[in-house]
Structure 1
Amino acid sequence: MPFLDRLQHWAALRPDANAVTIGAERLSYAELVDRASVRARELAGESSGGPTVLCRPNGLAFIVDFVAAVARTGTVAVLDPGWPALQRSAVERMLQGAGPSTPPAAAPADLRDGPSDSIFLYGFTSGTTALPKAFTRSRDSWQRAFATSAAWFELGADDRVLAPGPLSASLTLYALAETLSAGAAFHTLERVDVGDALDAVAHAGVTRIVAVPTVLRLLGERGLTSGVDAHALTGIVSAGARLDGATLASVRNWAPGATVFDYYGAAELSFVSARRLRPGEHRTGSPTAVGRPFPGVEVRVLDDAGRASAPGTTGTIFVRSRLVSAGYAWGDDGSAFARTGEWCTVGDRGHLDVAGELHVEGRLADMIVTSGSNVYPQEVEVTLLSGLGGAAAQVVVTGLADARRGTLLVAAVVEESGPDAPAVTRADLRTAAADLAAPKRPRGYYRITELPLTGAGKLSRRLLAAWITEGDPRVHRLD
C-alpha cells in the first residue's frame, strides 16, 4: 500500500495517537498496525488467487482489511456494497485470477509498501445495470499524489479529518489513505448522515471536512440553523462535482474561518485542477471554471481533429501527469478513459481561458442526444439556475426516452427553503431557458422535494429519470 511505510512510522513515533474513528469505535496507530498485521496473515491463508475482494459497509473491519490486503505486493478490489447481487457476482467472477493474490503470511514488521510500479487497487466506475469497468492503480500514482495533495490542501499531522461518505467511493478511500500517510486522525460514519456528521464537528474536534458538494450544502445549511459551532474547522475540501455558488455561500456562512478547497478530477485521472479560497475571499468568474492545473499536472484541450483548441474554444480535455490510473482491467471501449501516448482523457468537454484557468462544460458520458443535437446537462443547469436568480437551490437536467426525439430533455428544480422563498413556476423556468439555444431548452419541467443522490451523495441524473418515469411521489410536474 502506498502509505504502509508511513503508517509504521507514525505507529512508532505516536503509537497512542488516534488513527481512525467510526462512530463510537476508534483505533490508535499502534492498534491499527497490530490488527492489520494479524489480518494480513489470515488473508494469506484464505487467498484463492486474484485480488482480495472488499465489499462491506463503513467500519473498522473495512479499514483493517484494506490495509492488510495490500501489504507488500497485495492487491484489493473495493466493491460498492449497495450493488445488486447479480452485479456483484459478475464483478467477482471477472476478478478471479485478475491479479496477484494476497502475499504470504508476514510478521508485523513486514506490513510495508510494495514496489512503486506494482498494482495495488482495483476501483470501479459507477453503474446500476451494466458491468462496471475496473480501473487499476499503481502504488506510485498514490505515493506521488500524497506528497502533492497534503501540501496543497494544507493537511498536517494535527488535523482531524471527517470524510462522511462511503469508503467504497474513491473520494473517501483516498481521504483515508492520505490522512494516514500524513499522520492525522481520520473520522467517518457508518452511513452518510448529516446529523451524525454535525455531531462529529461539534464534539470530536474535527478540523477538516472532505465531501461532495451536495453533502457540504446540507452540512452548511443544517449546521447554521442548528447552531453547530464550526469555528474549529480550518479546511473544507469539495470534490466529485462542481462546487456551486450557493453551496460555497452556505459553508462559508457556517464555517467562516475555514479555507475552502475544491478540485476537479476523475477516479481514473486523479487530480486535474484545483482552487482555494481563504477566509473572506470571494470567488469570481464563470460558473464553469474549475481552477488551474494541479501541481505536476499538464492540461490541454483538443478539437475533434486532435489539434490544440484556441483559448475559449470548447474541445476535449486531456491530462498528462504521473497521477493517472494504469487503465482498465476490463471493459475498455475507449468511451470513458482513453490514452494517446502520455495524454489521457475521460471525455470531459471544456476549454482553457486566456488566463490558463480550466472550464468544464460537460462529460461525454453525460451528453444527451435529443432531436439530433448534443446537449450537456451541466450547461443547461448552470443557465437555468442563474436565470432563476436565487429562487432555486438546485436544478437537475436529465433525458427521458421519447419516440419522436429519441430523448426528451427535461429539468427539475429543488426550491429554496424558508417562509419567504418564492415558488418557481414553469414560466420562470421557460424565461430562464430563453438564453439557451433552442435544442438545449427543456421540453418538460418538474419540482422535486429532494435531490436524486447515489449512496455516495453524488447527483444522479439517471435516478431522476427513473423517478419521473415511475411516478415517484418526490416529483411533481409543473404545468
Structure 2
Amino acid sequence: MPFLNRIQRWADERPHDTAVVVGGQHLTWAELRDSSAALVAETMAVTALCEANSVRFAVKFAAALAGGRQCAVLDPTWPAPLQEDVVRRIGSAAQAAAVSPDDVLADGAPESTFLIGLTSGTTSIPKAFTRSRRSWQESFDASIQFFGLRPDDVTLAPGPLAASLNLYALAECLYAGSEFQTLDTFDVGDVHAAISYDRVTRLVLVPTMLRMLSERGLTGCVDASGVRSIICAGSKLDARTLEAARRWAPNATIYEYYGASELSFVSGAGLAAGEEPSVGGTGIGRPFPGVDVRILDDSGNALPDGTAGNICVRSPMVSNGYLWGDDGQALRSFDGWFTVGDQGYLQAGELHILGRRSDMILTAGKNVYPHEVELALAAVPGVAAAVAAGMPDDLRGQRVVAGVVPSAGAVTATQLRAGLDNILARDKWPLQYYAVTELPITDRGKISRNLLLDWISSGDQRIRNLGA
C-alpha cells in the first residue's frame, strides 16, 4: 500500500487535525479523506496529473491511486506539446487495471503498479518508469526510521509537488500521519514566515534552497531554532551551505542522502547538532535500512574497498523498470544488483559518490571526477561555489580546469592550491583556475560543465583567468 488506508486511519482517529497546508490553505484529515473519496468514482484507471501546487493537487493525487489506479505526475511548466506527447505515451504504454465507479478510497494490491514516474525533461522526452505500491511502503518505512519522522512533526517542502523529492515528502507524511506543508511557489520570505509562525520542525529541500534560506535567515534574524531536521537531496552539501545551515538552525540534524528515482533511497548520513562536519569529502553515509550496496565493474564483478566502479543496489525499493526510454544503460541489473550508472566506492562501510561516468575526466592516464574536485574547492576559504571540467589537452588528453565563485573579495590561484592541500590528491588538482561571476547554469537549473568550457574558449565576460 502507499498511504490511502493510512489516510482513513488518521481521519478516524484525528479528523480535525491538519493534514496538508498549501499556500495558507488547510485540509484536515477528514476533509482530505472526504474530498478524495468524492473524486474516486470519476477518476480513470490512469491519470496524468498536471497541476501547480495546491490542496487540490493532494486531493486529486490520493483519488488517482484508489484501488488499482495509476498516476503520472507531470510538470506543469513543461511546454504544452511535451505534455501532450507524454500523455499520449502514457495512454498507449500503461497497463491499466480494471477499475469501477464503486471503488472506495483504499489501497490496491501491494504488488500492483500505482505510480508512473517521469524523469525531468523540458525539450526532450522524459523516461517513464513504474513503481509498485509495496516499493513505496518499503521506502516509507525506511525513510521514517532513518530520518526520525514523528507524528508531531510539521514538514515543509517548499518546492513543486511535481518534483519527486516533494511528492515523496507529501506521501511520506500522509503515511506517517504527520502534517505536510508547501507553498504555491518558492519564496524565501514565505518559507521564513512559515518557519516562524507555523511550527515547522522539518525541512525537505535541495541545497540551493537551503543556502538561500540559511544565509538570508541569518541576515534577517529569522529564528529557525525550532527546526529539528533538515533533509537535503539533489547533490552533496558544500562547506559554505553546511556552515550557514548549522548556524541558522542550530538544533537541527542535517541529513543528506544519495538515491535515484529508479532506485529510491541508497545511503545517507545525518549531522547532529553540534557535530563537526568533514569538509571536502565525497562520503554520503551508510546504506539505508533494508538496502545492500556493492561496487561492481562493468562485468558485474565485485570490487574491493576503495576501488571505484558502478554503485549497485539490492533493495525492495527499486522500481519495476521503464515504460519507455530504456536504452539499456539507464537502469542496469547485474544478477539482481541495480545501477543507474553512478560511480563511487565503498570505504569502511561508507559510500563515496564520484559522479556519472560520462562526466569523468581522463588526464594523463588518471581518472578524475569533477564532483570530487568541486567539493574540495567549495571547502576552501573564500570560495562560495565551484565547477570543474576537462579541457582538451594535446599532452594529457584532458586537463582539469575549475571556475570558482568567490564568497567575498578576490581569490588567487595560490590561495586555491593552498586550500586544496590535505583535501584533494595533488594529481587531481586543476591546472588552471578561473573566477566566475556566477555558476554556468542551464535553462533547467543544472550546472553545465560544457558551458564553463564555452565561456573559457570564447573569453566570456563572466569569467576571468586566475592563472595556473
Q: Does 1:397 align with 2:391?
A: no
> For 2:216, what is the secondary structure of its paired residue?
helix
Measure how far apart 1:337 and its partner are: 1.3
TM-score by length of 1: 0.87
- For 2:83 and 2:453, the matched residues in 1 are separated by 22
Task: Tell me the residue number matched to 1:64.
Answer: 59
Measure how far apart 1:3 and its partner are: 0.4
- Distance 1:323-1:442 versus aligned 2 partners, 3 A rule: farther
Q: Does 1:132 align with 2:126?
A: yes
- Is 1:433–1:441's contact at 8 Å kept on the other side of the alignment? no
Letter in 2 for 1:288: T
Task: Name stretches of at least 5 consecutive residues in structure 1 with no aligned partner.
Answer: none
RMSD of equivalent CA atoms: 3.2
Measure how far apart 1:147 and its partner are: 1.5
- For 2:453 and 2:87, the matched residues in 1 are separated by 27
Task: Tell me the residue number matched to 1:259.
Answer: 253
Pick the aligned partner of 1:448 from 428, 437, 449: 437
Task: Tell me the residue number matched to 1:476.
Answer: 463
Task: Tell me the residue number matched to 1:23.
Answer: 23
Measure how far apart 1:450 and its partner are: 5.9
- Distance 1:463-1:126 versus aligned 2 partners, 3 A rule: farther
- Is 1:454–1:460's contact at 8 Å kept on the other side of the alignment? no
Write the deviation string for residues 91-133 of structure 1: whole angstroms up to 9, x where unpaired.
22221222244864545x8101111111111112224433211
Task: Tell me the residue number matched to 2:328.
Answer: 334
Write the deviation string for residues 272-304 of structure 1: whole angstroms up to 9, x where unpaired.
111122221223376111111111100111234
- Is 1:74–1:102's contact at 8 Å kept on the other side of the alignment? yes
- For 1:95 and 1:189, the matched residues in 2 are separated by 28
Q: Does 1:376 align with 2:369?
A: yes
Task: Tell me the residue number matched to 2:202.
Answer: 208
Measure how far apart 1:52 and its partner are: 1.0
Q: Does 1:360 align with 2:353?
A: yes
Write the deviation string for residues 176-229 of structure 1: whole angstroms up to 9, x where unpaired.
000111111101111222221111101111010011122112111111111111
- Distance 1:281-1:93 versus aligned 2 partners, 3 A rule: same
- Distance 1:432-1:94 versus aligned 2 partners, 3 A rule: farther
> For 1:96, what is the secondary structure of its paired residue?
helix
Measure how far apart 1:244 and its partner are: 2.5
Q: Does 1:111 align with 2:93?
A: no
- Is 2:269–2:284's contact at 8 Å kept on the other side of the alignment? yes
Write the deviation string for residues 389-432 of structure 1: whole angstroms up to 9, x where unpaired.
2111111235789999999965332221xxxx331245655776
The 5 A counterparts of 1:265-280 are 265-280=259-274
TM-score by length of 2: 0.89
- Distance 1:337-1:406 versus aligned 2 partners, 3 A rule: farther
Write the deviation string for residues 1-58 of structure 1: whole angstroms up to 9, x where unpaired.
61000011101111111111111211111111111122222323xx6xxx31112221
Task: Name stretches of at least 5 consecutive residues in structure 2 with no aligned partner.
Answer: none
Letter in 1 for 2:214: G
- For 1:149 and 1:240, the matched residues in 2 are separated by 16
- For 2:251 and 2:395, the matched residues in 1 are separated by 53
> For 1:43, what is the secondary structure of its paired residue?
coil
Pick the aligned partner of 1:89 from 84, 87, 91: 84
- Is 2:440–2:449's contact at 8 Å kept on the other side of the alignment? no
- For 1:72 and 1:443, the matched residues in 2 are separated by 59
- For 1:478 and 1:413, the matched residues in 2 are separated by 11
- For 1:471 and 1:165, the matched residues in 2 are separated by 35
- For 1:476 and 1:159, the matched residues in 2 are separated by 45
Which stretch of structure 1 is more off in the superposition, 125-134 or 459-468? Answer: 459-468
Letter in 2 for 1:447: V
Write the deviation string for residues 416-475 of structure 1: whole angstroms up to 9, x where unpaired.
1xxxx33124565577689667787366734133673776xx643269559949999993
Pick the aligned partner of 1:217 from 211, 214, 229: 211
> For 1:97, what is the secondary structure of its paired residue?
helix
Letter in 2 for 1:441: P
- For 2:459 and 2:200, the matched residues in 1 are separated by 37
- For 1:255 and 1:164, the matched residues in 2 are separated by 17
Q: Does 1:423 align with 2:410?
A: yes
- For 1:110 and 1:403, the matched residues in 2 are separated by 67
Task: Tell me the residue number matched to 1:178.
Answer: 172
Task: Tell me the residue number matched to 1:411.
Answer: 402
- Is 1:383–1:436's contact at 8 Å kept on the other side of the alignment? no
- Is 2:393–2:399's contact at 8 Å kept on the other side of the alignment? yes
Write the deviation string for residues 346-386 of structure 1: whole angstroms up to 9, x where unpaired.
11111111x21111111225445789986522022123334
- Is 2:271–2:277's contact at 8 Å kept on the other side of the alignment? yes
- For 2:375 and 2:192, the matched residues in 1 are separated by 29
Letter in 2 for 1:424: V
- For 1:214 and 1:255, the matched residues in 2 are separated by 16
